[in-house]
Amino acid sequence: MTTRKNMTLHRFRAMHAAGEKIAMLTCYDALFARVLDEAGVDALLVGDSLGMVLHGRDTTLPVTMDQMVYHTECVARGNRTAWIIADMPFGSYQESPEQAMRNAVRLMQAGAHMVKVEGGGWTVPVVRALVQRSIPVCGHLGFTPQSVYMLGGYRIQGREEAAVATMRAQAKELAAAGADCLVLELMPAAVARAVTQDLPVPTIGIGAGSGCSGQVLVLHDMLGLTTGTPPRFVRNFLAQGEGIDAAIRQYVADVKSGRFPDDNVHGY
């Protein structure tokens, strides 16, 4: 049984200030919440990726608020000390800051400690409104799954100079609006490193190299539990055959030490 102290926003910030890498994994149920918490995972992301991983959807777009609330409640019941971040699903915050507030309240009441919104620019007023009302927010830049059709599929972002400039500006705007961390997905390692160095808050990378303040993977991907070909940046931590708990502990250790990820491996 874990004896570590509860992860708080203050501890999250202290880890970043001390240069300690943050280990995050997606989580959708009470059993895995307990397993991940006991294995030392710092943060559990109740991602709308559950639409693809658990529900068999092609994208995250069909995921509803009711589904996110349900899975957040499940994770909260299994968790003891880890920080819980819940995705705001597509359509739950695009309309207005007021709509975002109503839906973020539901996720916080379900047990989330922080909510995550995708995109930059137009999301700044949303982030500011939530933070002003005591709801911690995580931003998300680079490849944003809720914009999959607009972006032309699962493609690396930030290859062009203008796109990089926009991304760096948006990251600064989100941090200035009060976002306490940002997920950086599918971008060149050098770009993610530059964005990270720009910011006073931690970044969590996925397919974005080792220069971020921490890493996140889809739990099922890092355990090799996929029906198709996993993204190239994913490592199967269960491949050594020592069991799920050992695989998760190895993931945490490799993130903390910098052994994962590989800066040279990107894309799907």
Q: What is the mean pLDDT of residues 144-168?
A: 93
Rounded Cα distance, 231 and 24, in Å: 17
Q: Is the pLDDT of residue 218 over 60?
A: yes
Q: Contact at 8 Å (CB) between 222 and 25?
A: yes
210: left (phi over 0), alpha (psi -120 to 50) or beta: alpha
Cβ burial of 257 (10 Å; 0-12, 13-18, 19+) is exposed
CB-CB contact of 15 with 22 (8 Å): yes
Of residues 77 and 4, the one with the higher pLDDT is 77
Q: Using an 8 Å Cβ cutoff, are 70 and 30 in contact? A: no
Nearest CA to 260 out of 232, 230, 235 is that of 235
Q: Which pLDDT belongs to residue 267?
A: 62
Query: Whole-angstrom Cα distance, residue 163 to residue 123?
Result: 17
Q: What is the pLDDT of residue 1?
A: 52
The domains of the chain are located at 9-257
Amino acid in the structure at residue 223: L
Q: Are 169 and 121 in contact (CB under 8 A)?
A: no
pLDDT-based confidence at residue 73 (cuts at 50, 70, 90): very high
Residue 158 has pLDDT above 60, yes or no: yes
Topology of the domain comprising 9-257: TIM Barrel (3.20.20)
Whether 266 has a pLDDT exceeding 70, the answer reads no
**Catalytic residue selected from 118, 173, 185, 242:** 185
Q: How many residues does the chain have?
A: 268
Lowest pLDDT segment from 57-66, 70-79, 120-129, 220-229: 220-229
- Which parts of the chain fold into alpha helices (H)? 9-18, 30-38, 50-53, 65-78, 97-110, 124-132, 161-177, 189-198, 219-222, 244-257
pLDDT value of residue 233: 93
- pLDDT confidence of residue 26: 98
Tokens standing for residue 115: 């909510």
CA 228 distance to own-chain centroid: 22
Residue 95 bears catalytic tag: no
Asked if the model's pLDDT at residue 92 lies above 80, the reply is yes
